[in-house]
Chains A and B, each alone.
Chain A
Amino acid sequence: MADYAIYLDTSKCTGCKGCQVACKCWNQLPSPLGKNVNKPTGSYQSPMDLNGDTRLIVTFKETDTDQKWGVNWSIGRRSCMHCTNAGCVAVCSSGALYKDPNTGFVSVDESKCVGCEYCASACPFDVPRFHGSQNKINKCTACMDRISNGKTPSINEDKGETETQFNKPACVHTCPAGALDFGPRSEMIAKAHERVDFLKIRELNPATQASVYGENELDGLHVITVLKYPVDTYGLPANPSVNPVTNLLDWAKPVTGLAAAATVLGLGVSFLMGIGYKRGDLHYDPQKHETIDRNTGEVVWRADGSVDSHDKAASKNKKGGE
């Protein structure tokens, strides 16, 4: 099975937050229900950041239009980008985070998560969040439970026929504006480029910075985004990268295992070579300032330096000092 990807066209997104709600519903993630629990921020974005119960938020950013009215409203999405070179998977101590071999998505096996939070520090997008009461990490799983459970028939409106498709992630399934899509990654990339070309030619000034985000970043993301405005407008890093230390961590466990095994092996040889070792029974006479071997009565060390076979006398082995 080829790599799959979630497609987002920010130029089509209406900011309805249907995807945010669908994510919470499907994954049974509660929202605070108390009155005025979410403090007013002056933004439509709510909550303002991801948290232990929120894997996906729709982001809103208003910028000036240099006119007397209106704003440029860039609406985006903040959630896991499902990197090919996923720092979170590299540092995951328990193997809870994994790259699904069938789709390329980065998913979570919560039963394995120990809540160490190292993934949070390795993510260039600052996505994984700690769910305090469950002591687990919480991040988008690409609805692996949906998409891995077979295909469902759907109607292809363009062709006017019924075809079977992989189940879509909840956010994609619910998007009323057609801003989200799901399919083979190569198809999503082609679709994104087509849309960017369209935006540059038909809708916007060709000099606009509409672009495709996720094609090559971190060896390819599995969320392909059509950005209508410059990348920083959406709070995304222009050149995301995994901290190189993260890759070193990949080596730490096998190197430690090998080093420990080599040490045990070396000491095992040493142990075998030491079997049968015999040592002299040494006694030091403080009055005479000399050391004797009680077994032989021989002086093996004298303070004046006239005898100094202590090191050999200490060992009573055949090939040793005797």
Chain B
Amino acid sequence: MTTYIKRHTLQTRLTHGISVVCILLLTISGLFVFVPALNNMLPSEVTFAMRMGHRVIGVLLVLAVMISAITAPKGVGHLFKNYFAKWDKDDKTFMKRFLPYMLMPKKVHMPDQHEVKSGQRVADGVLFLAGFMICGSGVVLMLGTAPFSLAISADVMIIMRLLHDIAFLMLAVFGIAHIFLGAGLFQPYRRMRKVMFGNGLISESDALYHWGHWAREELDKGEKVVEIDDEKK
């Protein structure tokens, strides 16, 4: 028997999954539309279709996240409570050791963490901010051009374009790092992919390694603890 803790609900995993698919498609379509070298590889009709697809997928992403947030206000509250929680000594130590740990994981060891690591708070905070920026500016850019062609001033359109580009830069850097860690490519983070893309459960050992304070709290309470027979599994 192996002890697991429920970390992510089905709704969280679905929202994350839809977001991942949308962001991948948005990145591909965005690069092919906005990078001339890629754009010129395809007929303009195809890039036009990609540009239109970029808008449709962007709207789907915004809708998916908004619907998920509206239908689970407690979850959103819990999320923000964790993200804005006061930093303790372990949180600060985690941040101090983060870069050395990433480069020398066998020598540098991390302290226990709460439900959301301090590093997660910073990185996800940037992803949230960039997400808001890119979605907001994208909506304005969409409304200011055909077929909507609302009377949005040229200056606003240019600033929105810059915000879109800056947000993409932030998403590119932090998104790549998020994938590296979240997909478990980094050896100490192996098996992490299954937590968000699997059944939402994390093994007791992995939970204690990554979020020691949180894991012990949940194991003490027992509400989210699941015992699974690995042989049957």
Binding site for B on A (CB under 8 A): 91-95, 110-118, 120-123, 126, 130, 132, 135-136, 243, 245-246, 248-249, 252-253, 255-256, 259-260, 263-264, 266-267, 269-271, 273-277, 279-284, 286, 289, 291, 294, 301, 310-312, 314-315, 317-321
Contact = CB atoms under 8 A, between A and B. Distances in A.
A283 B168 CA distance: 41
A255 B51 CA distance: 23
Given A115-B51, A116-B145, A311-B109, A121 B176 contact: no
Interface string B153-170: 011011101100110110
B193 to A, nearest CB: 15
Contacts of B185: 267, 271
A277 B145 contact: no
Nearest to A303: B216
A130 B103 CA distance: 51
Contacts of B186: 267, 270-271, 274
B199 interface: no
Nearest to A87: B158
Contact of B159 (A245, A280, A291): A245
B145 A252 contact: no
Contacts of B109: 311-312, 314-315, 320-321
Contacts of A259: 169, 172-173
Interface string B49-62: 00100000000000
Contact of A284 (B105, B177, B215): B215
A58 to B, nearest CB: 24
Interface string B132-160: 00000000000011110100001101110
6 contacts: A94-B36, A112-B39, A114-B33, A121-B158, A135-B48, A259-B172
A59 B15 CA distance: 55
A249 B34 CA distance: 12
Given A263-B176, A312-B109, A243 B36 contact: no
Q: Which of A91, A114, A246, A252 has the most CB of B within 10 A?
A: A114
Contact of A252 (B104, B146, B169, B188): B169
B11 interface: no
A310 B212 contact: yes
A246 B158 CA distance: 7
Provide the main secondary structure of the chain B interface: helix
A90 to B, nearest CB: 10
Contact of B166 (A92, A252, A277, A281): A252
A256 B154 CA distance: 24
Contact of A249 (B144, B165, B180): B165
Interface stretch (B18-26, B67-75, B78-86, B202-210): B202-210
Given A135-B48, A311-B112, A94 B105 contact: no
Nearest to A93: B34
Contacts of A111: 43-44
B220 interface: yes
A159 B111 CA distance: 90
Given A114-B48, A255-B169, A284-B216, A93 B39 contact: yes
B172 A274 contact: no
Interface of B: 3, 33-36, 39-40, 43-44, 47-48, 51, 102-107, 109-112, 144-147, 149, 154-155, 157-159, 161-162, 165-166, 168-169, 172-173, 176-177, 180, 185-188, 204-205, 208-209, 212, 215-216, 219-220, 222
A140 to B, nearest CB: 19
A115 B177 CA distance: 33
A314 B112 CA distance: 10
A275 B204 CA distance: 23
Contacts of A253: 34-35, 165
A281 B205 contact: yes
Contacts of B104: 273
Contact of B33 (A116, A121, A135, A276): A116
A259 to B, nearest CB: 5
B180 A115 contact: no
A122 B154 CA distance: 7
Contacts of A130: 145-146, 149
Contact of B36 (A95, A110, A245): A95
Contacts of B220: 286, 289
Given A255-B169, A311-B112, A314-B208, A320 B107 contact: yes
Contacts of B188: 274, 277, 279, 315
Nearest to B181: A267
Given A274-B186, A282-B205, A291 B216 contact: yes
